[in-house]
Amino acid sequence: MLNCNGAEQVVLLVPDDAYDWAAQQGYPFPVATKSRCMPGGQHGESTIFLTSPVDGATISGLVPLMGTVTMPDFEHYDLVYSRGWDNGTWEWISGPHQSQVTDGQLGEWNTLDLEDGEYTLAVVAYGQGGGRTDYKVRVRVQNNAPLTRRRSSPRRGCRFRRDTVPNGNTATTFN
């Protein structure tokens, strides 16, 4: 879902140099480029969005929150989350952040103490006149993934077991 000219819509996102060709192909949905559309969150002269994590991502541990927060009468922005898909009860991650950010790190989210499951992450920007704009993504926190076990045959009289742990490393146990 991208924001093109103030309206969120589904578009085929193509490189700038392929736009003319793609637009002529007769797709049943609009064709756009990054220079013509932003990933959500563009409201007039204000732009608020996350580039990472993206909507639907599975995250764990300490997560860098990347994106853009700019608005004409900027005061500050906060980073918040809610359990489930936007349940209306928000928990603080960090803020108030006093500086606007363009294509950079907005903050970090430590998910290690959270239960595995679905969450909504939001960037909420406030203007000096009291206005407020937000951008939300849905993510899945998975810090406590079950171990995937692979068994190997014995070597030179030893028996060993390899386990793949959630971060992708391998732990080997010898018997």
- Fold for the domain defined by 41-141: Immunoglobulin-like (2.60.40)
CATH 2.60.40.10-classified regions of the chain: 41-141
Are 132 and 90 a contacting pair, CB within 8 Å?
A: no
Predicted confidence at residue 109, as pLDDT, reads: 97
Percent of all residues in the chain with a pLDDT value above 90, rounded to a whole number = 40
Q: At residue 61, does pLDDT exceed 50?
A: yes
Are 158 and 173 a contacting pair, CB within 8 Å?
A: no
Predicted confidence at residue 143, as pLDDT, reads: 92
Are 24 and 6 a contacting pair, CB within 8 Å?
A: no
Q: What is the mean pLDDT of residues 86-91?
A: 85
Report the alpha-carbon distance of residue 174 to residue 157 in Å, rounded. Answer: 11
| Top mean-pLDDT range of 6-10, 31-35, 93-97, 151-155 | 93-97
pLDDT band at 53 (very low <50, low <70, confident <90, very high): very high
Predicted confidence at residue 156, as pLDDT, reads: 55
The SS3 assignment for 126 reads strand
pLDDT band at 175 (very low <50, low <70, confident <90, very high): very low
- The DSSP secondary structure of 131-146, one letter per residue, reads -EEEEEEEEEE-SSPP
pTM (predicted TM-score) = 0.62
- The per-residue pLDDT for range 120-173, each reduced to its tens digit, is 999 999 998 888 888 899 999 999 866 455 554 545 555 555 555 555 554 544
Q: What is the mean pLDDT of residues 12-39?
A: 60
Are 127 and 158 a contacting pair, CB within 8 Å?
A: no
Q: At residue 81, does pLDDT exceed 70?
A: yes
Percent of all residues in the chain with a pLDDT value above 70, rounded to a whole number = 58
Q: At residue 86, does pLDDT exceed 70?
A: yes
pLDDT band at 76 (very low <50, low <70, confident <90, very high): very high
Predicted confidence at residue 46, as pLDDT, reads: 75
